[in-house]
Amino acid sequence: MIMLDGVCKSYRTRAGRKTVLDNANAVFEAGHNFGILGVNGAGKSTLIRLLAGSEPPDRGVIRRYGRVSFPLGFGGTFHGALSGRENVTFIARIYGARIRAVIDYVETFSELGDYFEMPVNTYSAGMRARLAFATCLAIDFDVYLIDEVTEIGDQHFRRKCAEAFRERLLRSDIILVTHNAHTIRQYCNKGAVLANGALTLYGDIGTALGRYHRLIQEHAR
């Protein structure tokens, strides 16, 4: 469960300050999967990073009960000069996971082959994403935060991810951000819409998608 209590967040852009959250209160309850919708530039990725704790809020508190993953689809923590194995070992150490088990899982799942021993800066974007995805799945999180999963790998790998997620979702929750309504329908049972600094949670996906749809119409106008 993740609880937002009076959270404010804004950041500087060239066009002035951009507000992502303005005094937002919300509860992402345990046992539910949330899909977060919002038009481009609403700050969905910032919200995911806030939920993860990668970024501190300007004001207010975010309480996490249970282990929350780092934002998935984010391979930025990998050090280019270190091999895939060394990077994964580091993450496992940080989270206090069993290093041997994590390494074995990632090595098999990511299908990187010999590249697993090569520096990460020799990887393609897809390989990086595979490594990040596998690492995130290897560690037992209670809540997975996923930022735009759609670009990962080929169809074979996506299928594998979906399979792994299906299995993992029996135990863990996900909060995901995507433009793909289909993905949200598949994985989430609750929706949230981020717009104009307000985060609104909806009890079902249909209502959230409808609200999102209206937002797009207004945005286009």
Partner 1 sequence: MAPEDRFNAPHAAELLLRSGQLDKAADVIHGAVTAHPDDHVALRLLSAAEMLRGRAEEALDFIDCALAVKSDTPEYHLHRANLLYRLGRLDDAADAFGRAAELDPTNPDAKRSQLTVYYDSGRFTEALAIGGELIRASPENEEYAQAVLQVLNRRFEALDGEYVVLSERGPRPRWRPRPRANFFEALQTQSRVIHALIIRETRTRFGDSKLGYGWALLEPILHILMLSLVFAVMMHGQPPIGDQFFIFYYTGIIPYHLFVHTSTSMTYAITSNGSLLQLPPVGTFDVLMARGLLELITDALVAVILLAGFAAIGLGAFPQDLTGVFAALIVVWLLGCGSGFLNAVVNAFSKSWDKIWAQLTRLLYFCSGIFYVPGMMPDWIRDILAWNPVLHGVDWFRSSFFREYEPHWLDRSYLSAVAVATLLVGLALERALRRRLCEPL
Q: What span, in angstroms and rounded, lies between the C-alpha atoms of 62 and 74?
A: 21
Residues 40-79 within binding reach of partner 1 (CB under 8 A): 49, 52-56, 58, 65-66, 68, 70-71, 74, 76-77, 79
Taking the C-alpha atoms of residue 103 and residue 190, their distance in angstroms, rounded to an integer, is: 33
| Residue 94 engages partner 1 in binding (rule: CB under 8 A) | yes
Among 91, 102, 132, 192, binds partner 1 (CB under 8 A): 91
Q: Which two tokens stand for residue 59?
A: 């004001």
List Cα–Cα distances, 58 to 9, 43, 46, 50, 208, in angstroms: 5, 14, 12, 10, 27
Of residues 13 through 32, those in contact with partner 1 by CB under 8 A are 29-32
User: Could you say which residues in the range 144-163 bind partner 1, by CB under 8 A?
Assistant: 149-152, 155, 158-159, 161-163
Q: How many residues bind partner 1 (CB under 8 A)?
A: 67
Q: Which residues contact 99 (CB under 8 A, 6 or more apart)?
A: 89, 92, 93
Query: How is residue 57 written in tokens?
Result: 């809020």
Residue 170 DSSP SS3: coil
Closest CA to 149 of 69, 66, 67: 69
| Residue 209 binding partner 1, by CB under 8 A | yes
Nearer to partner 1, 134 or 184 (CB): 184
Contacting residue, 60, 185, 197, 200, with partner 1 by CB under 8 A: 185
Distance CA 193, CA 44 (A): 9
Q: Is 183 a residue that touches partner 1 (CB under 8 A)? A: yes
Q: Which is nearer to partner 1, 1 or 198 (CB)?
A: 1
Burial 139-163 (b: 16+ CB within 10 A, else e): bebbbbbbbbbeebbeeebeebbee
User: Which residue lies nearer to partner 1 by CB, 181 or 201?
Assistant: 181
Quote the least distance from Cβ 64 to partner 1, whole Å.
9
The single residue among 14, 17, 182, 221 that binds partner 1, judged by CB under 8 A, is: 182
Rounded CA-CA distance 172/166 in Å is 10
Least Cβ distance, residue 3 to partner 1 (angstroms): 10
Q: Report the interface residues with partner 1, using CB under 8 A.
A: 1, 11, 29-33, 49, 52-56, 58, 65-66, 68, 70-71, 74, 76-77, 79, 81-82, 86, 90-91, 93-96, 119, 142, 149-152, 155, 158-159, 161-163, 165-166, 169-171, 180-187, 189, 206-207, 209-214, 217
